[in-house]
Chains A and B, each alone.
Chain A
Amino acid sequence: MNTVKGKRKWEPYIWLLPSVLLISVFVVFPIIIVFRLSFSEISKAGVVGGFNGFQNYIDAVNLPAFKTVMQNTLWWVLSVVGLSTLLGFIIALVFNQKFAGRKIARSILIFPWATSLVIQASVWNYIIKFEYGNLNNVLLNLGIIKEAINWRSSYQIEFVWECACGIFVTVPFVTFCVLSGLQSIDEALYESATVDGAGFWRKLFSITLPLVKPSLSVSTVLNIIYVFNSFPIVYTMTKGAPANKTDTMITYLYMLSFYDRKKGPAIALSVIGFVILCVCAGVYMLAVMRKEEEQ
């Protein structure tokens, strides 16, 4: 490391300046705007009035769909993050084995990660259509089912499909995070464990899991944030219909502010979401900082 001489103390800050400026203007400033607006009176046309106290928050909590939406958000985050972490971990374990065609298999697994969520959601939306969807087409033509099945007969099932689509697009990220962790594990560890007579499960819990834990926890925290913020899947597949029953918080606040013209509660919801994210981010940061100190 260069030691910075006395008169050039300011130099590092110049190097940082563009980055800080960019983040400040386009990330921090909107945060301030959102906070300020959440305490102001906003008319339907979006005209900002005076200080309003916590009225917007009270309005938001009293919205008829508030409870459903919060429950949905919780289910959405828990199921998508939980299941994709589990699936991603299993897939990574398998894809870390040596087998012919491993490279091709890994490349294929990248596809959902590289594809835009809107496109992915549109395709799944088409696949599970009852009247002409492709899943029924394939199953019927293969002779697996005798009659077309209505894959989205109720909104609960539609929500499950949305979660499945979320899992589908999240798994590759987890898999590659875990794979990067697995690759740094020394083969010799497994060999000596085998010599000591450790079985598959024993090796999994005593060697693999502890060593993959850092990558797994980072991917989990990042996923919580990404999945919480995920908008296109729900928006493309159901638009929250019927009556916000399948909305998550993000799609709900979008609908509120840009369709229902209820800017006040929408902004209050933004701040609530923001605070939830802050908590997650804080946990993540503490973890990273602690690792940084260890090194």
Chain B
Amino acid sequence: MKKPETVKQNRTALIILLIGLVLACVLMCAPLYTFQTSAYTKKSSNTFVGDEKYAQALEEVEEVAQQYREQGFEAQINEAVTERTNSKGEKTSLITFTIDQTFRKTVWSFLGSDLPSGHVLRIMACCMVLAMLCTVFGSIGTMNTEYKFLPGRTRMLRSAAGLFLLADLILTPVFVLMNNYAFWRKTSLYYQDLITDGKEEWFAKMDDFLFGGRMGDNIEAALKNLNADHSALVWVLLFCFLLSIIAAVQFRNGTIKNTMLKRMLYAFVIVVCVITLYPYYVMLITAFRSNAETLDMYFLHMLPTEWIWSNLKDIVSRGVPRYLLNSVMIAGGATVLAMLCGIPAAYAMARMNFKGKKVFLGFVIMSQMFSPVVLLIGISQLMNMLHLNDTILGLIFVNAAFNQAFAVWLLRGTFVSISPEMEQAAKIDGCTTVGSLLRVLLPMAAPGIVTTLIFVFINAWNEYTISTVLISTASNRPITVGITQFSSFNMIEWQYLFAASLLATIPVVILFLAIEKHLTAGLTSGGVKG
């Protein structure tokens, strides 16, 4: 059965798609970029407007402009007046003459050019032609048909059109960014002699593109004040692609609103992921840079020019393995201790009834509230009393104690969710309470226990503040404190700092990913469900 409504929708979408494509074609022929340069600058001596010296300077400039005009440029003379007072107290002016040229470049000039953005544009044009062909062939004789009655090949053609358009959509901003890079960044880097490779060729290329190769030796001066602006049409073009894609996808997925929402959802997810990963990208690339490159004032490269693996070797010789080992000992010890104390307590809370249960619960929750930072001074005093100051053992105790609440909380949630029948059966078979706990409950609660373990381990691993205060001997430092040796007050060795950070982060992230599935469940059973 054909539903007239969907047929109509189908037709509308097709028309929108075609309109979008045609509009995009038209836009691509319109001038996309405006360039402005001053090819020649002359400053007059101190004078008054209309004065003899002024006329003389103007004449000189006219002459130069005439030369340019003979070469076929539309040279325009602009004057800028700066007023000043000379030593005798008379007001005079300084007049600056510039020969300016403004010209617009359309897509055709980019298509024929040898610039990187030209290559991008060529791909875009190919995609667009293909998309148009797909749409046209796909719509022959099918304008009035509902999607599911379309012949298989037609569906494929339309999907292909959508994909080609998607490529165009992504490439449009790439095109703009590449142009920005070429006309501002790369050229200015050549000017400052920060990069030298291929300078001549680059300027020749720019000359070819902008001036048809007529500028010759003057190209350096002409590019110095180059101003390149893309017109707003580029963004209209982007919108056309977007519109066409939506229309193309709509063939497949029903209403336009749903399709739009889905696109927006993906866009949102991608933005969130990119922002989240950005610091890790920075950490990774900086860890493998040379010291000079981490402090590069000229922002030359986005990736290390050379991946320096010896940074890893250097941090090994600066004590990082020792710090990692300390961290493993501290976090591991704290985890074991927290579990040894926490499992019995959680068991009692989950399986027994006794007076003061509520009090203990309150006690536990309260202790969860106090991060050690507020109690720093008290803790360091306590450590002095116990002679645990500056020892790994002291850190193990503190970390275990401050994660105790969390461990009891999570474990109790796990134990409560397991029915006590099996243990009772074991007890009837002559098992002691301890036996039933060890042989029956713990194996059954393994996922919850592993989650708790990893949580406590990560908390202890990432702990920083207490360790900075308690540990003063270098060889007892955990990694979080250890990395700060690379950032002393007057010199920060970013590459070592981040190489060590990378080593400290990777294992923890892997551990966290391992319990990702139980993470939400753990949160629910522990903190949330009470």
Taking Cβ atoms with an 8 Å cutoff, the residues of A that contact B are 1-4, 9, 11-13, 15-16, 18-23, 25-34, 37, 91, 94-95, 97, 99, 101, 105-120, 122-124, 126-127, 131-132, 134, 136-138, 140-144, 146, 148, 168, 176-177, 179-181, 183-184, 214-215, 218-219, 222, 225-226, 229, 231-232, 250, 253-254, 257-258, 263, 266-267, 270, 273-274, 277-278, 280-281, 284-285, 288-289, 291-292, 295
Whole-angstrom distance between the alpha carbons of A15 and B357 in the complex? 12
- Do the beta carbons of B377 and A18 come within 8 Å of each other? no
- A residues near B366, Cβ cutoff 8 Å: 281, 285
- Do the beta carbons of A118 and B400 come within 8 Å of each other? no
- Map CB proximity to A onto B481-521 as digits: 1 under 8 Å, 0 otherwise: 00110010000001001100100110011011100100111
- A residues near B513, Cβ cutoff 8 Å: 107, 110
On whether A143 and B185 interact (CB within 8 A), knowing A26-B397, A31-B378, A132-B295, the answer reads yes
- Do the beta carbons of B370 and A274 come within 8 Å of each other? yes
Whole-angstrom distance between the alpha carbons of A291 and B286 in the complex? 48
| Cβ-neighbour of A126 out of B282, B378, B408, B523 (below 8 A) | B282
| Cβ-neighbour of A132 out of B297, B519, B521 (below 8 A) | B297
**B404 adjacent to chain A (CB < 8 Å):** yes
- Do the beta carbons of A143 and B178 come within 8 Å of each other? yes
- Do the beta carbons of B520 and A270 come within 8 Å of each other? no
- Map CB proximity to A onto B261-273 as digits: 1 under 8 Å, 0 otherwise: 0100110110011
- A residues near B498, Cβ cutoff 8 Å: 122-123, 126
- Do the beta carbons of B286 and A134 come within 8 Å of each other? yes
In the complex, which range does the number of interface residues on chain B fall in?
35 or more
Closest to A108 in B: B273
| Cβ-neighbour of B273 out of A19, A105, A142 (below 8 A) | A105
**B353 adjacent to chain A (CB < 8 Å):** yes
Whole-angstrom distance between the alpha carbons of A225 and B361 in the complex? 18
Given contacts A18-B344, A22-B337, A176-B519, 14 further A-B contacts (CB under 8 A): A1-B351, A15-B348, A16-B348, A22-B404, A108-B277, A116-B464, A122-B498, A124-B279, A134-B286, A143-B178, A177-B527, A177-B528, A270-B374, A288-B365
On whether A106 and B516 interact (CB within 8 A), knowing A15-B347, A19-B404, A177-B528, the answer reads yes
B392-429 contacts to A (CB < 8 Å) = 397-398, 400-402, 404-405, 408, 420
Q: What are 22 A-B interface contacts by the 8 Å CB criterion?
A: A1-B352, A2-B351, A12-B354, A15-B347, A20-B345, A22-B401, A26-B400, A30-B375, A33-B377, A33-B382, A105-B272, A107-B513, A119-B283, A122-B498, A141-B185, A141-B301, A143-B177, A144-B180, A177-B527, A180-B523, A225-B369, A281-B370
- Do the beta carbons of B344 and A122 come within 8 Å of each other? no
- A residues near B516, Cβ cutoff 8 Å: 106-107, 110
Q: Which 10 A-B pairs have the closest CB atoms?
A: A143-B180, A30-B378, A26-B401, A281-B369, A229-B371, A19-B345, A15-B348, A180-B520, A116-B462, A114-B512
- B residues near A127, Cβ cutoff 8 Å: 278-279, 282
- Do the beta carbons of B404 and A13 come within 8 Å of each other? no
| Cβ-neighbour of A19 out of B351, B408, B469 (below 8 A) | B408
On whether A295 and B348 interact (CB within 8 A), knowing A99-B269, A127-B282, A137-B302, the answer reads no
On whether A105 and B365 interact (CB within 8 A), knowing A4-B354, A15-B345, the answer reads no
- Map CB proximity to A onto B354-382 as digits: 1 under 8 Å, 0 otherwise: 10011011111111011101111111011
- A residues near B277, Cβ cutoff 8 Å: 108, 111
- Do the beta carbons of B297 and A27 come within 8 Å of each other? no
- Do the beta carbons of B348 and A12 come within 8 Å of each other? yes
Closest to B178 in A: A143
**B307 adjacent to chain A (CB < 8 Å):** no
Closest to A34 in B: B378
- Do the beta carbons of B282 and A123 come within 8 Å of each other? yes
Residue of B297, B357, B366, B420 contacting most chain A CB atoms (<10 Å) = B366
- Do the beta carbons of A136 and B299 come within 8 Å of each other? yes
Tally of A-B Cβ pairs under 8 angstroms = 298
On whether A144 and B341 interact (CB within 8 A), knowing A116-B505, A277-B369, the answer reads no
Whole-angstrom distance between the alpha carbons of A137 and B294 in the complex? 11
- Give the Cβ gap from B190 to chain A, nearest Cβ, in Å: 15
On whether A176 and B345 interact (CB within 8 A), knowing A27-B367, A277-B374, A288-B530, the answer reads no
- Do the beta carbons of B345 and A16 come within 8 Å of each other? yes
Closest to A292 in B: B530
- A residues near B487, Cβ cutoff 8 Å: 122
On whether A112 and B177 interact (CB within 8 A), knowing A1-B351, A19-B345, A23-B401, the answer reads no
Closest to B401 in A: A26
| Cβ-neighbour of A1 out of B177, B276, B420 (below 8 A) | B420
B437-480 contacts to A (CB < 8 Å) = 458, 461-462, 464-465, 469, 480
**B342 adjacent to chain A (CB < 8 Å):** yes
Closest to B408 in A: A19
On whether A18 and B494 interact (CB within 8 A), knowing A26-B382, A122-B483, the answer reads no
- A residues near B269, Cβ cutoff 8 Å: 94-95, 99, 101, 105
- Do the beta carbons of A143 and B352 come within 8 Å of each other? no
| Cβ-neighbour of A215 out of B280, B357, B528 (below 8 A) | B528
- Do the beta carbons of A146 and B184 come within 8 Å of each other? yes
Whole-angstrom distance between the alpha carbons of A273 and B377 in the complex? 13
- Do the beta carbons of B364 and A23 come within 8 Å of each other? yes
B323-338 contacts to A (CB < 8 Å) = 337
On whether A4 and B524 interact (CB within 8 A), knowing A25-B401, A31-B370, A226-B371, the answer reads no
**B340 adjacent to chain A (CB < 8 Å):** yes
- B residues near A26, Cβ cutoff 8 Å: 379, 382, 397-398, 400-402
- Do the beta carbons of A111 and B404 come within 8 Å of each other? no
Closest to B381 in A: A33
**B296 adjacent to chain A (CB < 8 Å):** yes
- B residues near A263, Cβ cutoff 8 Å: 377
- Do the beta carbons of A23 and B398 come within 8 Å of each other? no
- Do the beta carbons of B374 and A1 come within 8 Å of each other? no
**B38 adjacent to chain A (CB < 8 Å):** no
**B103 adjacent to chain A (CB < 8 Å):** no
- A residues near B379, Cβ cutoff 8 Å: 26, 30
Whole-angstrom distance between the alpha carbons of A20 and B387 in the complex? 22
- B residues near A177, Cβ cutoff 8 Å: 523, 527-528
- B residues near A295, Cβ cutoff 8 Å: 530
Whole-angstrom distance between the alpha carbons of A140 and B185 in the complex? 7
- Do the beta carbons of A232 and B365 come within 8 Å of each other? no
- Do the beta carbons of B509 and A111 come within 8 Å of each other? yes
Whole-angstrom distance between the alpha carbons of A26 and B344 in the complex? 19
